[in-house]
Structure 1
Amino acid sequence: MTKHFYRAFEECLRGSRELIKERQTVYLPFIEPLKTLYTSCPTLDLGCGRGEWLEILQESGFEARGIDLDQGMLEACNALHLPAEQGEAVDTLRLLADESQALVSGFHIAEHMPFENLQQLVAEALRVLKPAGLLILESPNAENLLVGTNNFYLDPTHERPIPHLLLSFLTEHTGFARIKLLRLQEPPELAKAKRITLMDVLARVSPDYAIVAQKEAPAKQMALFDQPFDKECGLSLDTLANRYDNDLQRELQGLKETTSETETVLYRQLEQVQAQTKQLQEMADNTDVILNQFRLQLENTGSRIEKAESRDREIEAALRGSIARTIQAEIKQAAAESANETLRQQTQQATEELIPLRAQTHQFELQLQQSRQQLNEAQQRAHHWQLQANAYETQAKNLLDSTSWRITKPLRLVITSLRRVKGWSSQITRRLLRPLLTRIIRRIMARPELKRQLLNRLRQHPILFQHLKLFALNRGLLGPVPIQASSPQGMENDPIEDLSLLTSRARRIHTQLKKTIQDKDAP
């Protein structure tokens, strides 16, 4: 491993000094009471790295000293005039006197050493600590599945993950009076999130943890530390997994209720169709009754016609007798002719009455045929809706009982979450890196010799040099920023002097923006 590899590795993956200092302020409530117990609070930070914790200790009034094996890390501390020197953790502790330190700390060093060395480190720390003194050991949290299976092994110097139960037992077994587990660095919004996703369970459990162990002291002194030791901190895998299971159960219950409501609606629709079918059947029965009544009327009319015809035959017979007897009685003949005329009128009237009755009979037969056809169609629709309702019920039951539905549901949620995270990652990266790059350029500009060396190297990479130059010009680090009259609103801080330095997609976007502004300014 080269001289500056590990420092560059930390700069790239662990985070900025400002971020690490902000995270380490969580330990201030634990160490503040030490200043009320001891006028002098000597502290030793094992594996001090870039010196963020040393800087916090000095700002809080502690006599801080750090050791580290990596020369690149020590150079970072020396540049900030922090008290750090090269040394090995256990060997350095062995050189200290008994009860000489108020605080011993080690951030992300336990996972770098064999377990036997870690046992020696904890034992030596207990020996050199003053009464009520603290040992702080921070390490990656293997409860976070992404950390325990992937991120932990990014560091080539890591030995193996150390579960918090093992480190807690080690400090307690060694003789420390009380132990506090702190789970750290989880997303702050996750504690109050209304819904927990599978990705939260897999990757958002507290990625780091710390064991704060305190040496035995009189009860009055120990009581000063009760408040920070009693406070809960962080999210465990069990907590998130249980919340995820509860959310999933609520969703399944909601789905069952929705399915039940759908079944209820379908049953109601089926009942309505059955009721309509019953009404149509009753209408058909009523039509049959009316048809029977018309048939009876028709039969009565036919009987009347037969009676009229019989009467006609009797009249004709009487006329024959009348004709034979015309000579004998003209009065009877006239009476017979008058009776014959009356009978003819009655016959014509009966015939005229028969014509509309026949038309009505035909019309009722057509209505009966239409009613039967409507009844058949209604029965077919009722049968169709009943089949469709049964099919929907079967599909819903199969969907709820299928293994694929239960398995793919979390996966679909994961894919949705990943798509959202993908859209956020680029914005978050730009917001984090731009301020950091600005501060780095300002520090380089304040050091002429370092500026000259970097410029000589950057000129060997023209494209990178031009991008950094534009970045510095836009933020006023090299001089006034050129103003373009045609710059779109909101892009005054990003002028583009040379489009050849942009990608083809960036050039297309620039052209489209320029054309849009020209169209907008046109009268």
Structure 2
Amino acid sequence: MADDAFYYAFEERHRGSRTLIKSRLSIYLPFVNPLMEFYSRPSAVDLGCGRGEWLELMAENGFNAKGIDINDRMLEVSRSLGFSVEKMDAVEALEALNDNSQAVVTAFHLVEHLPFETVDKLVKEAQRVLVPGGILIIETPNPENLIVSSTNFYLDPTHLRPIPPQLLSFLVEYHGFFRHKILRLQQPIDVLTTKTTLWNVFSGVSPDYAVVAQKGSSDAGMLSKFDSIFDISKPVGTKIDQMALKYDEDRTAEKSQLLKALTEKLDQASNAIALLSSRLAETESRLQRAEDDVKAARERAEASERRAEEASNAIALLSSRLAETESRLQRAEDDVKAARERAEASERRAEMERERVGRLELELNAVYNSRSWRVTRPLRLVFHQARLIKGQGFAARTKTIVKSVAKPILVRSITFFDSHPALRSRCINFIRKFGLYDNTRAFYRRFMYGRQEPQPAAARPVTDIELQQLSPRAHRIYLQLKEAMERHGRDDCR
């Protein structure tokens, strides 16, 4: 009993929890569940049932499962959970069963505890008791995993020797099973997707494997239900050669990446050296220029010192002049202030004068607009003419008055003739008949221009002062005559 208790405690420590084991064993359900279509509540026997995790899964999926074990503590636990279990040797339990009586025979981590002769007999008896199309499942530690085969396998003191997958698969073939598939199990999830290390080669191979074998059947339709799940082109788990190859590939990729990185760094170093060389040459050139600049700067500094000394002397002179200028500026500011005061006084006087002129203009406008000024206008004109006669003489002034009256009349008449070409032509023809055209033209010129020859119109334009001296009526006549001359472009009437 003490040995049984020890082994139960050992399993509790290293086997894993019930939940974990059930989740691992669920991988086999696709191999056994199709049997439910062909057998009503099929029977199943689990050799070395232990704590009953597989019995629980089988019951949940509708199988009539029975467990076989020789450890009393394990059997006690299974019975407490309501499972049908019996203490018996595994091979003897199979020998006690009838032919074609079991749909499923399983042995999880059992065969590594048995001599090979017993394993051989167990496979042979399983083939006998399985129904047509029945399933045999044998799970055991995988010696392809170097850590398992060299260390972990011997952690269990009841283990005899590891069984390679090739040996167990040959054994089921030898005893007449229709087909089988090797499942490698419990490998790390990311072992094939991450970079492979040497430790992955040692420990990343599936630590367990199972051989799942199916007994032949005359019912081809039933066997076809299992074709996809037994497809060997879809391997499960990781193999030692697979991990070693991936390790080599990863190392090769690493070397390639390292070589590429080194090549890139070498290229970068070469480019950097070339750049540094060019920069060194440029720096030497700049250094030479800098030395030349320093020499020139030293010369300029010496010249600057001389100029600074001269500037100091000039500053001293300017300081004295500045003091004098400030004194003059103060006097000028005083003068500006006095001038501003005088200007303000002048503005006040000018404002008073403007007000006085405004009042005088108002008084003068009042005089010009008064009735007495208008009534006395003829008298003022007479007095004005009298003063002109006194100054010019009676005969000259009379001639001027007559001319000022007759000339506008003649100008207006000439303008009238110019504006009526037909009448003008008749008059000229009439004068020419009597031979008076030349005399009339000469009289017109003397009357209009005096004794001098008339000048072209563009040679002596009438000034603004002369226009201002004309009376309004004479001004209008002048404008009409000028317009007629510009319109006809000739001087036949002159």
- Counterpart for residue 256 of structure 1: 259
What is the CA deviation profile of residues 113-165 of structure 1, one whole-angstrom value per residue up to 9, with x for unaligned ones?
A: 00011000100110111111111000011111111111110111101111111
Q: For residues 263 and 139 of structure 1, do their structure 2 counterparts lie closer, same or farther at Cα, with a shift above 3 Å needed?
A: same
- Counterpart for residue 88 of structure 1: 89
Q: For residues 89 and 280 of structure 1, do their structure 2 counterparts lie closer, same or farther at Cα, with a shift above 3 Å needed?
A: closer
- Structure 1 residue 272, shift from structure 2 partner: 3.3
- Counterpart for residue 122 of structure 2: 121
What is the CA deviation profile of residues 50-97 of structure 1, one whole-angstrom value per residue up to 9, with x for unaligned ones?
A: 111111111111111111011111111111121001000111111111
- Counterpart for residue 271 of structure 2: 268
- Counterpart for residue 99 of structure 2: 98
* In structure 2, C-alpha distance between the alignment counterparts of 1:229 and 1:240, rounded to whole Å: 23
Letter in 1 for 2:213: A
- Counterpart for residue 113 of structure 2: 112
- Counterpart for residue 208 of structure 1: 208
The number of residue pairs the alignment matches comes to 293
Correspondence list, 1:311-330, <5 A: none
* In structure 2, C-alpha distance between the alignment counterparts of 1:198 and 1:267, rounded to whole Å: 36
* In structure 2, C-alpha distance between the alignment counterparts of 1:239 and 1:217, rounded to whole Å: 35
Higher alpha-carbon deviation: 195-204 or 90-99: 195-204
Correspondence list, 1:191-202, <5 A: 191=192, 193-202=193-202
- Counterpart for residue 250 of structure 2: 247
- Counterpart for residue 70 of structure 2: 69
Q: For residues 134 and 268 of structure 1, do their structure 2 counterparts lie closer, same or farther at Cα, with a shift above 3 Å needed?
A: same
* In structure 1, C-alpha distance between the alignment counterparts of 2:287 and 2:93, rounded to whole Å: 106
- Structure 1 residue 280, shift from structure 2 partner: 7.4
* In structure 1, C-alpha distance between the alignment counterparts of 2:189 and 2:276, rounded to whole Å: 56
TM-score by length of 1: 0.53
Aligned residues: CA RMSD = 2.6
Q: For residues 122 and 268 of structure 1, do their structure 2 counterparts lie closer, same or farther at Cα, with a shift above 3 Å needed?
A: same
Letter in 1 for 2:39: Y
- Counterpart for residue 20 of structure 1: 21
Correspondence list, 1:401-420, <5 A: none
- Structure 1 residue 278, shift from structure 2 partner: 5.2
Letter in 2 for 1:239: Q
Q: Secondary structure at the match of 2:4?
A: coil
* In structure 2, C-alpha distance between the alignment counterparts of 1:153 and 1:46, rounded to whole Å: 22
Q: Secondary structure at the match of 2:30?
A: helix
Q: For residues 280 and 90 of structure 1, do their structure 2 counterparts lie closer, same or farther at Cα, with a shift above 3 Å needed?
A: closer
Q: For residues 23 and 286 of structure 1, do their structure 2 counterparts lie closer, same or farther at Cα, with a shift above 3 Å needed?
A: closer
- Structure 1 residue 281, shift from structure 2 partner: 7.9
- Counterpart for residue 52 of structure 1: 53
* In structure 2, C-alpha distance between the alignment counterparts of 1:196 and 1:142, rounded to whole Å: 20
* In structure 2, C-alpha distance between the alignment counterparts of 1:132 and 1:180, rounded to whole Å: 14
- Structure 1 residue 27, shift from structure 2 partner: 0.7
* In structure 2, C-alpha distance between the alignment counterparts of 1:282 and 1:258, rounded to whole Å: 35
- Counterpart for residue 133 of structure 2: 132
- Counterpart for residue 190 of structure 1: 191
* In structure 2, C-alpha distance between the alignment counterparts of 1:26 and 1:273, rounded to whole Å: 65
What is the CA deviation profile of residues 318-377 of structure 1, one whole-angstrom value per residue up to 9, with x for unaligned ones?
A: xxxxxxxxxxxxxxxxxxxxxxxxxxxxxxxxxxxxxxxxx99x99xxxxxxxxxxxxxx
Letter in 1 for 2:164: P
Q: Secondary structure at the match of 2:270?
A: helix
Q: Secondary structure at the match of 1:229?
A: coil
Q: Secondary structure at the match of 2:241?
A: helix
* In structure 2, C-alpha distance between the alignment counterparts of 1:283 and 1:12, rounded to whole Å: 78
Give unpaired runs (5+ residues) of structure 1.
291-358, 364-523
* In structure 1, C-alpha distance between the alignment counterparts of 2:285 and 2:68, rounded to whole Å: 99
- Counterpart for residue 487 of structure 1: none
* In structure 1, C-alpha distance between the alignment counterparts of 2:245 and 2:58, rounded to whole Å: 39
Q: For residues 280 and 52 of structure 1, do their structure 2 counterparts lie closer, same or farther at Cα, with a shift above 3 Å needed?
A: closer
- Counterpart for residue 39 of structure 1: 40
- Counterpart for residue 173 of structure 2: 172
Letter in 1 for 2:155: L
- Counterpart for residue 348 of structure 2: none
> Is the Cα contact below 8 Å between 2:41 and 2:62 reproduced in 1?
no
Q: For residues 89 and 286 of structure 1, do their structure 2 counterparts lie closer, same or farther at Cα, with a shift above 3 Å needed?
A: closer
* In structure 2, C-alpha distance between the alignment counterparts of 1:276 and 1:97, rounded to whole Å: 95
* In structure 1, C-alpha distance between the alignment counterparts of 2:283 and 2:48, rounded to whole Å: 91
Q: Secondary structure at the match of 2:55?
A: helix
TM-score by length of 2: 0.56
Q: Secondary structure at the match of 1:232?
A: coil
Q: Secondary structure at the match of 1:32?
A: helix
Correspondence list, 1:280-319, <5 A: none
* In structure 2, C-alpha distance between the alignment counterparts of 1:19 and 1:261, rounded to whole Å: 49
Q: Secondary structure at the match of 2:134?
A: strand
- Counterpart for residue 424 of structure 2: none
Q: Secondary structure at the match of 2:229?
A: helix
What is the CA deviation profile of residues 247-278 of structure 1, one whole-angstrom value per residue up to 9, with x for unaligned ones?
A: 22122112112222222222223323443565
Q: For residues 188 and 275 of structure 1, do their structure 2 counterparts lie closer, same or farther at Cα, with a shift above 3 Å needed?
A: closer
* In structure 2, C-alpha distance between the alignment counterparts of 1:63 and 1:243, rounded to whole Å: 44
* In structure 2, C-alpha distance between the alignment counterparts of 1:159 and 1:13, rounded to whole Å: 18
Letter in 1 for 2:241: D
Identical aligned residues as a percent: 46
* In structure 1, C-alpha distance between the alignment counterparts of 2:72 and 2:65, rounded to whole Å: 19
* In structure 1, C-alpha distance between the alignment counterparts of 2:66 and 2:279, rounded to whole Å: 91
What is the CA deviation profile of residues 272-303 of structure 1, one whole-angstrom value per residue up to 9, with x for unaligned ones?
A: 3443565678899999xx9xxxxxxxxxxxxx
Q: For residues 283 and 189 of structure 1, do their structure 2 counterparts lie closer, same or farther at Cα, with a shift above 3 Å needed?
A: closer
* In structure 2, C-alpha distance between the alignment counterparts of 1:169 and 1:244, rounded to whole Å: 29
Q: For residues 286 and 103 of structure 1, do their structure 2 counterparts lie closer, same or farther at Cα, with a shift above 3 Å needed?
A: closer
Which of 236, 260, 264 is matched with 2:239 structurally?
Answer: 236
